Amino acid sequence: MDYIKNFMRICTAWFTFPLSTWWGSRKLAKQVKKNEREQDPSLYPFDERWKYLRKKSKGILKRAGIKVEVEGLENLPKGGSWITPNHTSNLDGIYLTVGLGGKTGLVPVAKDVLKESKMFKGYFIGADAMFLDRSSIRQNLNLLNGAAQYSKERKRPVIIFPEGTRSLTGDLLDFKNGVFKFPQKYFLPIVPVTIVGTLQARNFLSLKTKVVKIIVDKPIKPINHSKMPTEILSKKVKAIISSNILNYEKSLSKKELEKLNNLKLNSVKKEERKNIKLKKEISG
């Protein structure tokens, strides 16, 4: 039965996915724009936008044949917090919205290039996202300081990827230690979050339902991290996530692990071909 459902999903997704996703993005962007124009945030309040955003995110994953499972959701604290997931997929924000967003509205810290994406920018704007400018370190420091202050005052969790960019293989990249200075300054709990299964989930044409798992570890409380050297704190969070990834890979069968390793290798090769093509275009 699962195969039949996914076959029908694949047949219809090509027609419905782009239009539905774009329409949701456009609607949210227009709502925020109207709030700003009228200077009245009560026209389309955040809770209302978040409910719609999460509904659309669920629809995106349903069309892609992806199911999100969450372990440790009870560990997500109430109020403001600094959520630090690993980053392996362009859909990580959607996975987190569906998996964690039923409990509270999340505020993403994202790359400024996403503001130019007609397909997805409305989802970020609708979530009150804060956009990093990679060309200005000073501006980014101010933005992260503002994000932590916002989380503290508005009692909403902020999501930021400590790796700073997406890992092609799912193996952890170096963490940006500076990311952890701001929750220390504002005494916010830090929540290590691990996302696994995203490489396998990229095969949207599979007749099997793909499962992405989110693991929410117990928060590191401000009393335990505020005076800790930032570099040590960064290593501590990275070690927690790394351990979860290792345990996940150990739980796979020999066949599943072999498939995952092939996906890692193919992902790197694909990026290399992309870079070679880009260099040729630049050189003329």
Give the separation between CA 201 and CA 65, rounded to whole angstroms. Answer: 8
pLDDT in tens, the chain (284 residues): 565 565 555 556 555 777 888 899 999 999 999 999 999 999 999 999 999 999 999 999 988 889 999 999 999 999 999 999 999 999 999 999 999 999 889 999 998 888 888 888 999 999 999 999 877 888 899 999 999 999 999 999 999 999 999 998 989 999 999 999 999 999 999 999 999 999 999 887 777 889 999 999 999 999 999 999 999 999 999 999 999 999 999 999 999 999 999 999 998 888 888 888 777 767 76
Backbone phi, psi, residue 277, to 5°: -65, -40
Rg (CA), the chain: 19
Q: Encoding tokens for residue 100?
A: 């964690």
Give the separation between CA 183 and CA 178, rounded to whole angstroms. Answer: 10
CA dihedral 271, 273, 276, 282 (to 10 degrees): -80
Do residues 56 and 24 lie in contact, with contact meaning Cβ atoms separated by under 8 Å? yes
Identify the helix (H) or strand (E) that includes residue 248: helix 230-251
36 CB contacts (<8 Å, ≥6 apart)? none
Beta strands 210-216 and 190-196 are: antiparallel
pTM, whole model, 2 decimals?
0.92
Residue 278 burial (10 A CB sphere; 0-12, 13-18, 19+): exposed
Give the separation between CA 67 and CA 147, rounded to whole angstroms. Answer: 30
Of residues 256, 24, 40, 254, the one with CA closest to residue 122: 24
